[in-house]
Structure 1
Amino acid sequence: MRLYLLTLLFIPVLSYGFEPLNTDDAGTVKKSSNQIEQYFFKTATHGHNTVSSKSSQIITPGEEYFGVSQAQAFPFTYTRGLTENIEASIGASYFATPRGSYSPISNKVIAIKWRFLEAEDGQWALAIKPSLTLPGTGQQQVSGIGLALPNYGVNLIGSHYLGDIEIHVNASYTKSLYNTNYLIATGPPENRTNIIFASVAPVWKVSKSIKLALDTGLETNPPISQQYLSNYALLATIISINDDLDLGLSYMRSAANMGVVFGGTGISASRSDIGFTWRFQ
């Protein structure tokens, strides 16, 4: 029961765009150019470690992890600019923890982003990003590092650029299917498969080489027996080493409501990220 109550659920936002944020931006990689995003994340739980009655499970958006133990993984994404406003990406995560008699590589995602509308002065843009998550194995689903059926979804992205301030908004839907012949880690036998996600992320350009971001949002809580939505807040720093290389760091906390997220009391989950984004021809 204790493990069940403290299960961590990491639901994908369909992509690893604009690392280390959860919220993607409407920008695309330049035509015939390439981008690599390589990150490392570590999760943790906070609050009571024993609960006498059922409570809401905790969702931490950004990575697809359903396990009960602490996770450490290396998400990787390669993106190629196909045209001036269309990019294609492939991504996967290598789980260092947990490990078992299954492949540690999971969350294999294929996505295309199309920036279909933008202002002539470049102050705003809209993009749409459909994606497909390839199925994992039954043992990966049982261990909590993936789902054993293909998932698909679409993300609608809006970005507003105001000099040193950017504001990015996401609204996405995912059909989160799973193999009902297997449990999803130690979670309940039935999960919601229609997952919605909404977020907003203001980004401030503090200097020529440093950006700060506050990323907040809400997402569907998969267990049917639990509350419908959960909340998160993320703080991030993006440091531009040069025109082609960025270093990103972030810390995110998620819980049943924003009071717990910002107040620090009650059951919550956190994720710490560090990594880089490299752009090249």
Structure 2
Amino acid sequence: MRVFFLGWKARYEQIMIDGLAESHNVHKLHIPAYAKRINRTIRSLQKKTPLTISTSWLGRLVNASKSISAKDILICNEGQAKRGLNPSVIKTFKGVKVLLIRDLVDAPFIDEMRKIFDRIYSFDPEQCRLFGIDYLEQFFPFNAEAARKLNTKKLEPSRPITCFFLGRDKGRSQRIEEIANDLESLGCSIKFQIVKDESSVSLSKYHTDSVLPYEENLQKVIDADVLIEINQPGQSGLTLRTLEAAFFDKKLITTNKAVKDLYFYDPSRFYIFEEFDKEAISQFLASPSKPIDVEAMKKHCPETMLKSIRELQGSSRCN
């Protein structure tokens, strides 16, 4: 049984897949350049003619190049499932097809995806309840041992306390800037980067035009003492930022009240930000952090995710 990842392009995703491939039969399913060119040509022709030209044959050709069989598993994410030639590759894949949803989506999207995937997972419990899809534990790109080794690469001790935020604006910039000002008033060093997007209207000194390369982002996380998380409205699942704080032994200031329900929650590590309370935040920043059970965190490692997905082999289609 082989496992193929299709459309996982982010640098941290590539690192995760490469790590899994070292000890598991895991592969990246790349769309060859020739197939992309043919697909673009077909799309261009479709704009000029009322005829519908199928690309299923091209999807089958891509799968045939990997000798895909019914025993294989394909894993895709919601951001790439409808891009380019991916839909044709997914539909003609002979094995078990799995969709992992990591962001907020709507009912029409789920209805469309049910037609082509055998199983749909989300890391958000509320999304699972709302759409009747399966829950999967959020997973971190590194296992506990790899994270521990990375965390020894801190460039220099943080004095004063360093607080780090990186994320797209998504209409959150005012809240983010307010939190930055509050923390700065406590003497913290603020390392915030708000990536501009279509919601960016009033720009702050923290706005930037582009996302940091992953390795640079990772180093800033490792160098920080406190990570900041501002959730989108409606988001309730365990986030990568929360796992980052746990795996890299950082404190987390978050707007996500659901972290109190996590089995590894401890008030010395996680602060729920609702409104600025100078005394409470000062105490939180100054207090030592309770150690996290590394063994318990294994449920969020890539290997555990892969094991869960593999158990799907032979299961029925979702409906």
Query: Structure 1 length normalisation: TM-score?
Result: 0.22
Point out which structure has higher relative CO (alpha carbons under 8 A, 6+ apart).
Answer: 1
- Which structure features the higher share of strand residues? 1
Rg: which structure is higher? 2
- Which structure features the higher share of helix residues? 2
